[in-house]
Structures are given as C-alpha cells and as structure tokens.
Chains A and B, each alone.
Chain A
C-alpha cells in the first residue's frame, strides 16, 4: 500500500507522522510505504508572523528543518508536484519523477494574492510572509501620528488575525506612548466586526473601549497609492497614513493548473474529507473548499481524522469516523491577555473573558507547536 502525502505544512506533516506511528508494523513488514513530497525543506510556524510584525519574535524562530519533524520511516523529498493524474493514481513532480500511489493525501495549502486588488501590493503592508512582517514592523516603528487603516481581503487564512491585529496595534502604540496620536480604523467585509457572531458580540465593546473606529460591509476594491485612499466595492473610502491588509487568498496554483477546483480549492466531502468523486484521495487544511476556517487548527484536527481513517482502512477495510468541523483558535487580545474560540459544525463558540494565563498558554503553544506537528501532542 503506497500512501503519498503532497504538502509538508501543518496538515500534511501531522497526517504523515500519525500514519507512520499507527502503521509502524505494516511499514516494518514493507506492506505500507509513506512518501511525502513538499516544495520546501523548511517548515514555518505561520502564526508566528504576527509576533514578527510587532517585534516580539524574529523570523529565524519560525523555522525548523522539515526532515527533523518527520518520523524516520517517512520517505521525504523536496520535489513539488506539477501534475496530478488522479485517473491513473499518479503524480509527476518538478524534477520529472513519477510517483504512483494507492492513497493520496492533498495538503498543499493556500497562497496570498494581493495582486488581485489594484494598488494593494504597492499601497498596503501585510504580515503573511517573513519579509512583509518585518517590513510592517519597521513601518510601525517609524509612524508617529496619523491614521492606521486595516482592511480585510476575502477569503483569508486565519479569520481571527484581523481582530488580533487590532488588539496588538492598540497595545503597541500605547506602549510607545503615542496611542492618542494614532487613529486606528478597522474595515470588515460583512455587516459586523467579525464573521463569528459570538466573536463580533464580544469584540465590539472591546473596540469601543480602545477607541477603535470601524466600518463594516467594506470589501477592498482598490488602493489609490498616490492619494493614500482605500476604496471599497460598496462605494466608500478611507484616507490613511499606514494601510495594513489581510490579503485575499487562493488555493495553490498547481491545483488550479490541474483543474482540480475553482479558486484552487478542492471540492471535499465535509465529513469524510475525501475529494468528491475520488474515495482514495483525502484533502485537508487550506486545500479544501469546505466552509471551515483556514487555520492550522482545522488542519490539525482534520489530519487526525484522515490519519485514523486511512490506518483503519488498511487494518480493517473501512474508515472509522467523520470530521465534525472542530476548530480551536487562540485569540490574542493584546500583548498580555488572550481568549479562545472553539466550535464545530453544530456548536458555536462560547467565548470566555480574556486572561493572562490563556496568553501564557498561547505563548507556550508557540513552542509546543513543534511537538504538535510531530504528532506527539
């Protein structure tokens, strides 16, 4: 049985490690082989980018060698897939190698596409890459007064990031003693300040307390870089001195080039996590088209389901459980407090008041991630 995992991010790495442990006897007896193909020999802890943007972490702290995170029985290659031939159960990589499989796990992730909005690349700072997070921090250090505008593209990874950014900005400028000279204006695509109703209800009085201005039903249409104005598709505009964008995302280009899903998102069964029409192809994390948060947390919980089901298919001939939509998101509410949102398909989150211990837990998790992604936590 050949299991091929495409993608070495959070989801792919947890699936591969989890499978390597569950199927250790089968691997030893050479009845199962696990191969991982990734585009990079490095693994980035992406939530750390927000800390880089506030000067609380440096980029080198975000990386580990991918090979060091994987069980020794996993055959790992840095050789990204270029062609998926699902009807023949094989893929072709950039180097030209062909990998055949019996079970395929697609965990290719997503990418930012700020270029889809005119002026956004030139006019807005962001923090979704190492370079842009560092650049944003330098801009935050420079600014002395004026309007900092935050806009949010759709769809975007880590739906909690926009509110975490606002709390972080408030605390950062307060610590610098210039909060009274900085106007923070938040813009959000739908009719409340966060897509999760419970988060919106909780965050609104917090925004009011901090003096955050907000405009809802604001989808970024274009940025007039010369005049420092951001305009919405809904017909409104905001003048800014510093513009920070949560950029819009798409699925990976290879998914689009292989016509596997509109927008690069692969049509996926929300419970089985299999690709529609392909029972031997599992999809997880950002790669799916599911109406589920694009976060490492969702990828983590989905990876556990996928690994358990693949292992049970090999051992007893059938998958054993469904994905219930579980997501757990920390919410940093400034530089010294946090809360969390946990929910699934049926149960909305029940937000607790922010606390220092929850922030310490998040800071600990920033280190524990490396244990988590090895499949040990």
Chain B
C-alpha cells in the first residue's frame, strides 16, 4: 500500500475537482489511496456519485473549515 496522495483541487473552476481526481486516478495503481481537497460545495455529493458508479471505494468524506477532504481507494 502506497502513501496517501493528495490531490489539491481547492479554488479551481476548470478542470475542476472531480476532473482532477479522475486524472490522478488514471495515473494511480490499484490499491492506491488518494485524498481530494476541494472547495467546491458540490464535491461532497458529486465525487461519491462517480466513485460509487465506477466501482472505486470511498474511505472517508468530511468537510473541515470549508474544505472537502475525500479519501478514495482505487479498486480497479
């Protein structure tokens, strides 16, 4: 298991947090853990929707001081 990779997508409108996450997921290996940081209000729902649909795993999802911290494990 590798260390958690931080994907810092705070304060970005394009390509945006979920697109950033998908980019980094494609560059990662199965079993890797990524933590997405996002200030986009919609990320708390948008990201789990995609992660669950494609079949990866949400490890945690919380908002701290206005920033979403969403941990995902690449499952496939």
Contacts and interface: CB of A to CB of B under 8 A. Distances in A.
Nearest to A188: B19
* Dominant secondary structure at the B interface: helix
A159 interface: yes
B15 A195 contact: yes
B14 A155 contact: no
B27 A195 contact: no
Contact of A195 (B8, B11, B14, B49): B14
B45 to A, nearest CB: 9
B42 A197 contact: yes
Interface in B57-74: none
A293 B14 contact: yes
A190 B11 contact: no
A291 B15 CA distance: 6
Interface string B37-59: 00010100010011001100000
A348 to B, nearest CB: 5
Contacts of A345: 11-12
A183 B27 CA distance: 34
B14 A327 contact: yes
Contacts of B53: 217, 234-235
Contacts of A292: 12, 14
B49 A155 contact: no
Contacts of B40: 197
A369 interface: no
Interface residues of A, number: 30
Contacts of A348: 13
A195 B16 contact: yes
A339 interface: no
A208 B19 CA distance: 24
Interface in A212-251: 217, 219, 233-235, 248
A191 B14 contact: no
A343 interface: yes
Given A155-B19, A263-B27, A190 B12 contact: no
Contacts of B17: 291
A234 B76 CA distance: 11
Contact of B11 (A197, A263, A293, A325): A325
Given A219-B54, A343-B14, 12 more contacts: A154-B19, A154-B22, A159-B19, A191-B18, A191-B46, A191-B50, A197-B13, A263-B23, A291-B8, A291-B20, A345-B11, A348-B13
